[in-house]
């Protein structure tokens, strides 16, 4: 039986991982992720979860251990944040190219310096090109559901999947979460053993040298896999819906009927953005908001459809790309919309770095600057709330 409980976003992830009946967990504690693996260690210690729990000396080792375990055919999980994810950097590229279906939770936190434990998206954006599928959630419920979907996506595409949830805002906030029935979850992601690729029964070398004659082709396989994952992600979300009555899609568009200006956001700020859009609608402003649940692969067609007929979009980045043309999400949106016959003006924003709250007034400012961009064209990136 499904049951409704009050738990944090991190615990929601831990319960999903337990229900996925993982074989191996390797992790190194880091704020604000710690309580995910702490809860999982409890499950393992008290016999609720039959998994090998590996304490490692760093996140570099955690991800390396996950790659090795995954190659044996085990279902594996790890979780990290910020500096921990940065330390996994080189192994993430290997995880995708070696096609290891690792599921990881990344509890989004700012990268140093200065040292900061609070929420923004700089950690995940720095791993943009590692070849991992990136899903972004907006509530504890979505964290639970998405983690379950992530195992199926990972195993059917044989790619690592990163589930991103905003540090503290989601990770430590207690919310009512409906935990699905464990048997139903097992039916959705049966624990069938994956292929053991390091068996001694047949020759199979992994971690090999790819000379110039082969590197390109080997790399392209992972590029092709993430491209093709678009369809799988859609199908799996549909199947999840048929079993559990919930579907999240690649993006969610809110208040877009007749909208002239729209914000594009990722993560938990979607809630505030909707709230402010409602108030502005009551004041007669034609505004809407789009939230991305999928960042890799980037939902190009879905975004293009959603902004059709919109005069301006405001892209809210919670990470920066210093010295670049724009910031990470802005760049993706600009590239995705570039060859639309009637593309909207694209106004860039940076907000909420290092855990700075994005308040209603900040959203009002962003909506009104986007409306201005609809009339006069977009200006330079606006650093919302920055003191001079």
**Binders in 90-129 for other proteins, by CB under 8 A:** 97-100
Q: Is the dihedral of CA 164, 166, 170, 171 positive or negative?
A: positive
Q: Residue 69: which residues within 8 A CB-CB, separation 6 or more?
A: 23, 24, 26, 52, 76
Q: Does 197 bind other proteins (CB under 8 A)?
A: yes
CB 239 within 8 A of CB 188: yes
Burial of 53 (0-12, 13-18, 19+ CB in 10 A): middle
Shortest distance, position 223 Cβ to other proteins, whole Å? 9
In angstroms and rounded to an integer, the radius of gyration of the C-alpha atoms of the chain is: 21
Please choose, out of 181-189, 216-224, 296-304, 321-329, the segment that lies near other proteins by the rule CB under 8 A: 216-224
Q: Does 213 bind other proteins (CB under 8 A)?
A: yes
Please choose, out of 78-86, 199-207, 270-278, 324-332, the segment that lies near other proteins by the rule CB under 8 A: 199-207
Residue with smaller CB distance to other proteins, 32 or 160: 160
Q: Does 1 bind other proteins (CB under 8 A)?
A: no
Please choose, out of 1-9, 22-30, 195-203, 338-346, the segment that lies near other proteins by the rule CB under 8 A: 195-203
Q: Does 218 bind other proteins (CB under 8 A)?
A: yes
Shortest distance, position 94 Cβ to other proteins, whole Å? 9
User: Pattern 151-190, binding to other proteins, x per CB under 8 A?
Assistant: -------x--------------------------------
Rounded to the nearest 10 degrees, the angle between the axes of helix 82-97 and helix 59-71 is: 30
Taking the mean position of all CA atoms in its chain, how far away is CA 18? 20
Q: Does 228 bind other proteins (CB under 8 A)?
A: no
Instruction: Render 321-381 in DSSP notation, one character per residue.
Output: -TTSSS-HHHHHHHHHHTT-TTPPEEEEEE--GGG----HHHHHHHHHHHHHHHHH---SP
Burial of 73 (0-12, 13-18, 19+ CB in 10 A): middle
The tokens describing 227, both together, are: 């491209």
Q: Which of 168, 14, 130, 155 is nearest to 73 (CA)?
A: 155
**Binders in 322-361 for other proteins, by CB under 8 A:** none
Q: Does 224 bind other proteins (CB under 8 A)?
A: yes
Please choose, out of 72-80, 206-214, 296-304, 310-318, the segment that lies near other proteins by the rule CB under 8 A: 206-214
Q: Pick one of 115, 176, 193, 214: the residue that binds other proteins (CB under 8 A).
A: 214
* Residues in a beta bridge with 105: 79, 163
Please choose, out of 126-134, 197-205, 230-238, 284-292, the segment that lies near other proteins by the rule CB under 8 A: 197-205
Residues making contact with other proteins (CB under 8 A): 97-100, 158, 197, 202-208, 210-211, 213-214, 216-218, 220-221, 224
């Amino acid at each position: 039986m499904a049951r409704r409980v009050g738990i944090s976003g991190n615990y929601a992830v831990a319960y999903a991982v337990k229900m996925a009946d993982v074989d191996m967990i390797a992790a190194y504690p880091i704020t604000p992720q710690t309580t995910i693996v702490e809860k999982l260690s409890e499950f393992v210690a008290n016999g609720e979860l039959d998994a090998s729990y590996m304490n490692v000396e760093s996140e570099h080792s955690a991800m390396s251990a996950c790659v090795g375990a995954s190659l044996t055919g085990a279902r594996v999980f790890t979780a990290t944040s910020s500096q921990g994810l940065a330390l996994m950097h080189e192994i993430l590229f290997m995880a995708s190219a070696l096609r290891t279906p690792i599921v990881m939770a990344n509890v989004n936190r700012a990268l140093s310096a200065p040292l900061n434990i609070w929420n923004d998206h700089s950690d995940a954006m720095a791993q943009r090109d590692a070849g991992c599928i990136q899903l972004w959630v907006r509530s504890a419920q979505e964290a639970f559901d998405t983690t379950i979907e992530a195992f199926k996506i990972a195993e059917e595409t044989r790619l690592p999947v990163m589930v991103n949830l905003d540090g503290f805002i989601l990770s430590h906030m207690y919310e009512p979460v409906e935990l699905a029935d464990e048997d139903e979850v097992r039916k959705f992601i049966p624990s069938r053993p994956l292929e053991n690729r390091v068996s001694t029964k047949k020759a199979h070398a992994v971690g090999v040298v790819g000379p110039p004659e082969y590197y390109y082709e080997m790399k392209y396989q992972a590029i092709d896999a993430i491209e093709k994952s678009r369809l799988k992600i859609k199908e799996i979300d549909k199947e999840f819906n048929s079993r559990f009555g919930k579907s999240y899609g690649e993006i969610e568009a809110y208040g877009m009927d007749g909208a002239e200006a729209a914000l594009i956001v990722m993560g938990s700020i979607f809630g505030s953005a909707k709230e402010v859009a409602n108030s502005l609608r009551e004041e007669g402003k034609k505004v809407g908001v789009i939230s991305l649940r999928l960042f890799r692969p980037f939902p190009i067609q879905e975004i293009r459809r959603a902004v059709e007929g919109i005069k301006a979009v405001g892209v809210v980045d919670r990470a920066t790309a210093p010295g670049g043309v724009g910031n990470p999400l802005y760049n993706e949106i600009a590239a995705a919309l570039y060859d639309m016959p009637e593309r909207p003006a694209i106004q860039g924003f940076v907000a909420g770095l290092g855990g700075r709250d994005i308040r209603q007034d900040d959203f009002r400012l962003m909506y009104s600057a986007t409306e201005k961009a609809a009339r006069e064209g977009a200006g330079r990136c606006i650093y919302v709330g920055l003191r001079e």
